[in-house]
Every structure is written in C-alpha cells, then in structure tokens.
Structure 1
C-alpha cells in the first residue's frame, strides 16, 4: 500500500534525523572530555573510540535519511549494516565495563595532577574549582607541606571567598563524579542498543515495502 510505504519512509526520515542529532551530541561530548585525560592513557583512547562510534551514528543517520527519501533499497541495506555494526560496538563496550578499572584510571589522573601541583602551583586549580575539592585527600595536603592553600580550594560567591577551604579531597570527589558518569554511559549504551534495534526493524519493514513496490512495477 502506497500510504503505508510513505508513512514508513517519513518515519524512517524522522528516526534517521534523531540518529544524526544523537551522533553529533555524542561527538561534541567526546571532544569536550578528550582534554580531561592525558594523551596515551586508556581513558584518552576510549574517548577516540567514542568519537568513532559517534561518527558511525552520524553516517548511519545521513545514509538512513537518503535511503528513506529516495526509496533506495541498496542505501537502506547499507544503513542496516551500519546499525548492526553499532549494536556490536555497544555490546563490546558493555562487555568490557569495569568500575574497578575506571576508578584506577581516575586515581592515576588525579595523582598525576597532584604531582604537577607540587612542582608547578596551579595545576589543580581547574579540578578543585569544578569539583569543589581541595588537594589530594584534603586541604591538609597543602598545610602539611607548608604550602599556601590556593583560592581554588575556597567556595566563592559574588567575589567573596569562604572562610574555610573545601573539606573533601579531590581524589574522593573526582572518583565519585567520574564513576557516576561511567555508570550513566553504560545505560546510554544499553539504551542505544534498543534504539538501534527499533531502527533495524523499521529499516527491514521499509525495505519489504519497497521490494513489493518494485515487484508491482515489474509485473
């Protein structure tokens, strides 16, 4: 039925557009987080993997839109292959999920910044301001070494600094924040698997409708 086919085509266009938007947002998030990790580290490499998956989402969105608009079965098959590859990559990511590994990587990251702070004062500034923490384990890390507690260790409002520095150390604060993000990313991957399965079902249904249309023209 032409009406069903047209509805499927426009539904596929909307779905592919959403896929394109999700891919762009994932790419922007990956680029933003890339600078947070040392080059060559496991986390830094994982962000490149995220960028690759985001690129595949963008490509799948573009191909899906073109296939649906022009009613091309061959283009839709390419879109289905891309979605299957994305599902496989999400499953791979979820299967390698390890909170212990994530915590170890975060510990190395914070400790590296703290070591730099001891040599060049100010290396911890951005981290302390963003996560409202102080030092490695607390502000006593500074005082025990006869170092001045930096301004980034104090809560600031309207240009006025708090009397006392943040009590929590950056190791605990950053570990907690990064672990929360890591858990969130796991559920995002699971959600995308379901989303892409819907896309595959939609794509196969549309391909069947387009095949029936081709057969009618042949007859």
Structure 2
C-alpha cells in the first residue's frame, strides 16, 4: 500500500510539472497572439479565454503538487474537482476550435480594417510591418487607390524598390492564422490528454489514501 501511494504520488507530481509547463506555453502563445489581434475581435476574445485557462491550469498544477506532497485527502479531492472543471472547459474549447473557422475570421477582420483604412491606418501599418506585407493583395492596391505606397510597406522603413514588401497582407494574415490554429490545437489536445491522465491518477490516489485511512481506523 505504501509503495503504491509513493508511486502514484511521484507520477502525479511529474504530471503536474508537465501540466504547469503546458500552461505556461499556452499563456506565452496567447500573450504573443494578443498583441497581433484586433481588440474586440472574435480572435482577441478567444486569446483572452486561453490566457484565463492557462492561468487556471498553472494554479491547478500547483494544487496537485501540494496535494501529492502532503498526501492530504481533502486536497486531493479538491484537485480532482479542479481538474474536472478544467476538463469541461477544455472540451468546450476544443469543440469550439474545431467548429470555428479562425482563418475566415482573420480574413473578415482584416477586410474590415482595410475597408476603413483612414480610421485603421495605425493598425494596418502595424500589420504590414509585422507580416512584411503591403496592401490587401499587394503594393498595387495603393497605386490603384491613387495614393502612394506608404513607408510601412518597406523593410526597415527604408523606401527603395529592393525593400518593398511584395506579398499582400490578406494572404499573410490568413497564413498566420492557419499556423496559429495548428499550434493551438496541438497544445489544447496535449493539455487535454495530460489532464485526463492526471485526473485518473489523482482519483486512484485519493481512493487508495482513503482506503488506507479506513484500515488504520480499524
């Protein structure tokens, strides 16, 4: 019995360390993406939710390590409840991620910015420098509009033909969104698997500790 508890304790601590690392990775990815999204957009809201989930994951992993270290039945069951809540959120997030076309959302958000270039000039300038692109489909967009190509369309803001960005921002934004979706799904599924495993181990540990305490009473 003691060996089993020690083994489960060690496994649970390892899983929670892994869980905290995944949580940190999720927050880091989300914070990076937060700076590249338009406030109020669907993508922006989704990133904020991911930061909340990542923070909850880290706090839960700390609780799991503490519960395993103390072999406290109350803490173990509290940890199990937190994991159950996390798994519920995770299932919802994964379902939403698979049912939502984030690439189309990114496309729509960019087209909305481009449609009102005067009021979104700073945001468009940031996108052009961030993704090394120019205009919606290319530099010719500005020429067709009868305006000069802005300095944002040049590498290091140096106006020369060799520094001109040739790619359109619409394509670049969509490519970036595709990469984010792939990376996000990998992290979400990995987190889900670790959470499920941790839940199973924690439940088994809780039952084992409870049975041990019952035997000691008699």
**Class of the TM-score when normalised by the shorter of the 2 chains:** 0.7 to 0.9
Q: Where does 1:104-119 land on structure 2 (aligned, <5 Å)?
A: 104-115=104-115, 117-118=117-118
Q: TM-score, normalised by structure 2?
A: 0.85
SS in 2 for 1:96: helix
1:75 Cα offset (Å): 1.1
Which residues in structure 2 correspond to 1:50-199 (within 5 Å)? 50-97=50-97, 101-115=101-115, 117-118=117-118, 122-155=122-155, 163=162, 165-199=164-198
Q: What is the distance in 2 between the residues matched to 1:19 and 1:53? A: 12
Structure 2: 5+ residue runs without aligned partners?
A: none
**1:39 correspondence with 2:39:** yes
With over 3 angstroms needed to count, the CA separation of the structure-2 counterparts of 1:32 and 1:59, relative to structure 1, is: same
| 2:208 alignment counterpart | 209
TM-superposed deviation, 1:184:
2.6
- C-alpha distance in 2 between matches for 1:79 and 1:100: 31
Contact 2:113 2:120 in 1 (8 A): no
User: Quick check: 173-182 or 85-94, which moved more?
Assistant: 85-94
Larger RCO (CA within 8 A; separation ≥ 6): 2
After the TM superposition, which of the residue ranges 119-128 and 176-185 deviates more from structure 2?
Answer: 119-128
Supply the distance in 1 between the matched residues of 2:176 and 2:102 (Cα, whole angstroms). 11
Give the drift of 1:215: 2.5
TM-score normalized by structure 1?
0.85
RMSD in angstroms over aligned alpha carbons?
2.6
How many pairs were matched up?
218
- The answer for the alignment partner of 1:24 in structure 2 is 24
